Amino acid sequence: MCRITAVISARPAAHTDLLCGGPKSLLAQAGAVKGRYQDDGWGVAWYRDAKPALSKSQGAARLEREAFAAAAGRAASRVTLAHLRYASAPGVPKAAQVRPENTQPFSAGGLVFAHNGTLFIKDEIRSLLGKYAARVRGTNDSEVLFWQVVKMLDAYGTPEAALEAALDEIRTVWISCRDKYPTRKDPYLGLNLFLASKDSMTVLCHAPRRKPSTALLTPGWEYGRVAWRREAGRVVFSSEPADGGAWKKMNDPEIASARARAGRIDLSFKRIAL
């Protein structure tokens, strides 16, 4: 599973302490555990003049430390979303996965998006995208999820409803196609979805069948459990704690909604019934 750190702050700021500034930062996680290197691309997304700005590479962040740190330093924004990729697109050869078009975060129409996990029924969900299917450029199951969420956002109007509707559609489709996947117990291994706009961050935490391994740099922290923390002036969500401070765990499944308004951040959580 990939690694993600997302920050929403009351005022524009760079967050290099969490992205590249410490022994548990996102950059530190890139090469923390041999055999679990996050080497298949990286990206940092932020907002400039209310429009998404992205710096991405198909290379390994642990080998491109200066470029990653430079991108983190440029990301002075109310909303920042950074991603390290461990490629796991089902049915796609590794060489075809590590390409620029498959690198996260994805962006369109003022939105940025990242996914931690694997969607096994990528083709079935893509077949339901309608007009949005033509906008899929790569072979990444995460990109299919992005356009599914955009489809749901256009239909239902709010990020929270879009993420919940996407999860509901995946589970409904699974009922009709699960016989095609006799070795699978679920249609996904992790649906940790991060959807951002210029002043909001919405996160779905859902990884029902976690791997026995723990997080990369926090012993005992479940792999796939989103960490979060409210600080003075910002709220942080991360695939695992990004420093040695105190972090809380999102429930599973649960949607977190954070919005920057008038110098403050409104934060709420909603448990999802499956």
In the block, tokens 């041999």 appear at: 34
Among 111, 76, 255, 116, which Cα is nearest to 196's? 111
Among 27-41, 46-60, 81-95, which is the least confidently predicted range? Answer: 81-95
- Radius of gyration of the chain measured on its C-alpha atoms: 17
| pLDDT over 90 at 88, yes or no | no
The answer regarding whether domain 3-271 maps to CATH 3.60.20.10 reads yes
| pLDDT over 70 at 84, yes or no | yes
| pLDDT over 70 at 25, yes or no | yes
Average pLDDT, the chain: 95
Among 225, 237, 207, which Cα is nearest to 80's? 237
pLDDT classification of 188: cutoffs 50, 70, 90:
very high
Which is it for strands 254-261 and 200-205: parallel, antiparallel or unpaired? antiparallel
Predicted local distance difference test score (pLDDT) of residue 191: 96
Predicted local distance difference test score (pLDDT) of residue 166: 98
Residue 243 near residue 237, CB atoms below 8 Å:
no
